[in-house]
Structure 1
Amino acid sequence: MNRFVSIKEILDLEVFKDAYLLSPRIGLNNKVDNITIMDIPDITNWLTANDLLIIGQSLKHYLNIQLIEKLRQCNISGIITKNKFEEGISKEVANLCTEYKIPFIICNDKYSWSQIMTPIQQRIYQHQNIILEDNVTFYNKLIESITKKGSLSTLCNEIFNISGLSLAMIDQNSTLIDATNDFDWIRYLKDFRSNYLVQQEIIGYDFNGQPFMGIKYLNPYLKKTHEEILLFPVYFQGKSIGYVLLKKM
């Protein structure tokens, strides 16, 4: 499952089967968190990142380069309008949308705004529910497993059994606390040094689809085997108490 709803996924909805993009193949992977309709001139004061904006009658009065500049600053996902309003889109506006990778979706006039908005909202809610259900399932399985074992010393292997992730935990002194059995963590973490921390990379994404960063660890052993390990700090009451290390799949 995708980590968020994208413009490409929105375009697969039945209501968009006759729709087209003003500038094809741009912004298809833009994230969509919400959909809103432009009903006031200063709509940008009320937008948030990843909003998909509907513009109807107000297009011919307010859609200009200045508005597109503001929409870019708001980091919107894209714009939706209807065929009958397309003539109000100037070439300059269209070119700027292309430059900023703001997809402009032109819909069939036969659909009302509610007919367009409802399936988009439903898709967003469905996606959020699936993520929530997956998270609940994961935590329930993890808690159940740890409860049966009666110990946190096998935490990494329990996570591995549920998710397939190969990971380890070390404390502030670089002492190995726990690790999965599928990888020779002791060997690859031997002589753990801070100068082997080479760069930051995206480890994963949170519930909102936002990336969180980890640090790439690369020592001579890893260079030889072309393995990659990412680590990120664990905090308790504002203080770093150790690191979780993840073997990159």
Structure 2
Amino acid sequence: MLTVKNFLQLSPFKTFQLVAGEKGLDNKITGVNILDNPDASDWLSAGELLITSGYFFSENAEIQRRFIQRFKEINCSAICIKPHIYLKGIPESMRKLADELGLPLIEIPYGIAFSKIMNIVMAEISGRMNELNQASLDIHSQFFEISLHGGGMKKIASGLAEMVNNPVVLVDTDWSVTAISDKKQPLIQEIIKKNGDTLTFPIQTITDLPTNFERIQKPITRALSFEEQEYPCVIMPVYFDTIHYGFILVYLIERPLTDLDYVALENGSMAFALEQMRLLEIERTENRIRRDFFDQLLSGQIKDLAALATYDTTIDPNLNYTVLILSIQTIGHTSDSLMEKKQSEDRLMKSLLSSLTTYTSNRFPHLHLFSRKNQLVILLGTDPKLSALKTHNEVSDTAERIRIHLEQQGQSERDIFCTIGSTLPVLELSQSFEEAKKVILLLEDDAKEEKIYFFNDFYFDSFLVDSISKEQGRKFYTHYLSTLLTYDLENKTSFTPTLKAYLAHHLNIATTSRALFIHRNTLLYRIEKIKGLLSVDLEQEKNTFALQLALKLYELHH
């Protein structure tokens, strides 16, 4: 085992001078690294002996302090500096801080090559590799046992915390907490935040994280503030085979991590990923079973109550049911690849389904839920004795509460809207499902200013789409509106929406002008122009209906 003290006693290094950090002479040296780039500090490992010219230290005392502190947090064994090239000498402030931290500062004599130091140190420490490999195998076996017996995230967190002798927090890709080794730890209680029904780690408070650092597959160390003190936190990305599963956070409260602790961290990350895959597969299987049953129910394949009773389901045949479809559209970054976008959407749907299942389980006893692609499909049971108005209000209130809950979950940008079919007996649910899907189609090109849409509000639109072909609709609105539409297009006027508002307000000048926020005289001018462009008399009732129908068909096909 090579310590800093042993290193200084080696004959090639007898001229090296320890200038500070004598309390760290027993630090173990597990590797050696050359560092002359400040951005490379995230690539250092515990136990490494650092060799530097001091180039990036410059003469800036604050930079010197920050990096000495960072090297201590990483648990580097010692720092060897060759001064008089970029650094005039090792400043007193650096020596004082190194003494306080017990981090040895060693001055390299001029003329000693960095490569010579590296070769000698690596030769000295190579003898302990068998010991390290055996310890690594033992750690691997412990995590293998946890994974084999389905210990779960809690067992992984507590097992890893015991190995590294520090509190551990596991979070998913959205920084929502999946397991904590010690919930009573004051630092954890202070930093972990409650967000709806979930606990989250406030990653936004750490501002100097490398871009896409979750892909570097190497732990980095950052400081967390608590009660006017800073505590190092090791952040280990869990990223395998292009899939990001989350992060492992180790709060360095008891002691810095050793090289063996980092081996434990790597094995813990593998166990974390395997457990995430196992949970995902279980959830997919359960959702597939639910989806297969509901697909049969919603497609009308279950035709009587006797057939329904053969399924292991909590559907109550004595209730009426309403189908609600929540469509979730993620707002991704243009730089995201198709694979990244698909992975992001899959993670989001998994997270929302899990969160909504927990949220609704006790609040809505007659609610059933499953997911399909980017939709959450809900079957909501209501008492058939309720009036139509009370049923509508109950369904509307439930939809709004669920929508708000989903919008509050996680940090991903998303757009959520809900379409709702009719309330019907359980064996007629296929109609309610088709109605909810029909509303999605009717809204396809709309801005969706509202968030909840009932099929009953679109019944007329649905009737027109089902009864009048696109070609017939085009001929109809062209017959009545072609001159008006052409005039608006060529002159950049807005007579068509003016006509729509005028008809909607029953040809009332006062209410129409208020609705359009224009002066009465402006509206009268527009109406006269519209009358001159149209081939029908606006004052006849049959013509007003025909024009309203033409406007509706124009909207449906544009």
Query: When the two structures are superposed, what TM-score results if normalisation uses the length of structure 1?
Result: 0.48
Higher relative contact order (CA 8 A, sep 6+): 1
Give 1 or 2: higher strand fraction: 1
Give 1 or 2: higher helix fraction: 2
Query: When the two structures are superposed, what TM-score results if normalisation uses the length of structure 2?
Result: 0.22
Give the number of the structure whose alpha-carbon radius of gyration is greater.
Answer: 2
